[in-house]
Amino acid sequence: MSTIVVEELDDRVVVTLRRPEARNAINAAMVGELHEVCAALEERPRLLLLTGEGGTFAAGADIGELRQRGREQALQGINSRLFDRIARLPLPTVAAVDGYALGGGAELAYACDIRLASPSAVFGNPEPGLGILAAAGACWRLRELAGASVAKQVLLAGRRLDADDALRFGLVAEVVPAGDLLKRAHALLDRMARSGQLALRLTKLVADGGGHPLTDELAQAILFESEEKAERMDAFLAGGRS
Ligand code: COA
């Protein structure tokens, strides 16, 4: 891996974006490496923690590469397919955002299930300033996360959301001092790791689909027959607490 650092733990994978010379801008090599991480997580589901090195999350897609791309590449959805794949990973994903998350970097963070920020976090989608639009999820994910009014300010008026804005608008779960950000993200993952993993997986699947009585009941039917459910409920009834 040349653009990311991957730390594989038993119950989670930690991925750190690392292209210090380009503020962790997402280039084709990074897209390929993140696809490799996705493949590994699809094969053996684990939680994912995504962060950036050097006080930046990611300053967008690599503008040098974007400059060379034409209609064909746009239609390939190079970044959007990756971010959709990340959004569809079996188990929850957390983005720990320190510093800039701009353009494709913001869209990558939007694709995660939960975001934590340091006080220096800045989210923005300056794409129209480069003569393009934010086509890798911002146009709909940001709207879902923060509402149409905020999304339009960001997408159309170039508004940058600082950490306080992001917290107020519900884009991030918490603002944590930079030095504690990863510790806090791991604590959040610890909590999720203690849950039934099939329960977590099916909850994510159902919730991401918008929920529906039919899917909810089918998923519950699977869980009600699982050994883990019986063990966890027996443990509760015997006085243990999970
Ligand atoms: N693509 C390619 N290179 C990028 C980049 C990107 N998205 N963002 C930053 N870089 C490069 C810069 O060109 C610079 O390279 P250089 O040292 O060879 O000149 C290096 O990273 C450092 O960037 P710099 O702008 O000097 O850092 P800064 O701390 O002053 O500003 C940002 C940081 C993030 C505010 C600024 O780099 C920026 O605005 N980046 C582009 C953001 C953007 O428009 N993203 C949307 C892309 S779709």
Instruction: Tell how far the Cα of 22 is from the centroid of ligand 1, in angstroms.
Output: 6
pLDDT per residue over 18-37, tens digit each?
Answer: 999 999 999 999 999 999 99
pTM summary value: 0.97
> Which sign, positive or negative, has the C-alpha torsion 100, 153, 119, 94?
negative
Distance, in Å, from the CA atom of 64 to the CA atom of 180, rounded to the nearest integer, reads: 34
Nearest CA owner, ligand 1 atom 3 = 22
* 159: phi then psi, degrees, rounded to nearest 5: -65, 135
Does residue 107 have an active-site annotation? yes
Distance, in Å, from the CA atom of 86 to the CA atom of 84, rounded to the nearest integer, reads: 5
Tell me the CA end-to-end span of the chain in Å, nearest whole number.
37
Instruction: Tell how far the Cα of 166 is from the centroid of ligand 1, in angstroms.
Output: 22
Q: Ligand 1: list residues with CB < 6 Å.
A: 22-23, 25, 59-64, 100, 102-104, 126-127, 130
Q: What is the pLDDT of residue 242?
A: 54
pLDDT per residue over 99-140, tens digit each?
Answer: 999 999 999 999 999 999 999 999 999 999 999 999 999 999
Element (H, E) at 1: none
Exactly one of 127, 144, 174, 225 is catalytic; name it.
127
Q: List, in sequence order, every residue forming a beta bridge with 17; answer none if it has no partner.
A: 4, 52
% of the chain with per-residue pLDDT over 90: 97
In this prediction, residues 234-240 reach a mean pLDDT of 90
* Atom number in ligand 1 closest to CA 127: 48
Cβ(43)–Cβ(36) below 8 Å: no
pLDDT per residue over 188-229, tens digit each?
Answer: 999 999 999 999 999 999 999 888 999 999 999 999 999 999
Instruction: Tell how far the Cα of 13 is from the centroid of ligand 1, in angstroms.
Output: 27
Q: What is the pLDDT of residue 211?
A: 86
Q: How many Cα atoms within 13 Å fall on the side-chain side of residue 14?
A: 14
* 174: phi then psi, degrees, rounded to nearest 5: -160, 150
Instruction: Tell how far the Cα of 61 is from the centroid of ligand 1, in angstroms.
Output: 10
CA distances 135 to 34, 123, 162, 233, Å, are: 18, 16, 22, 45
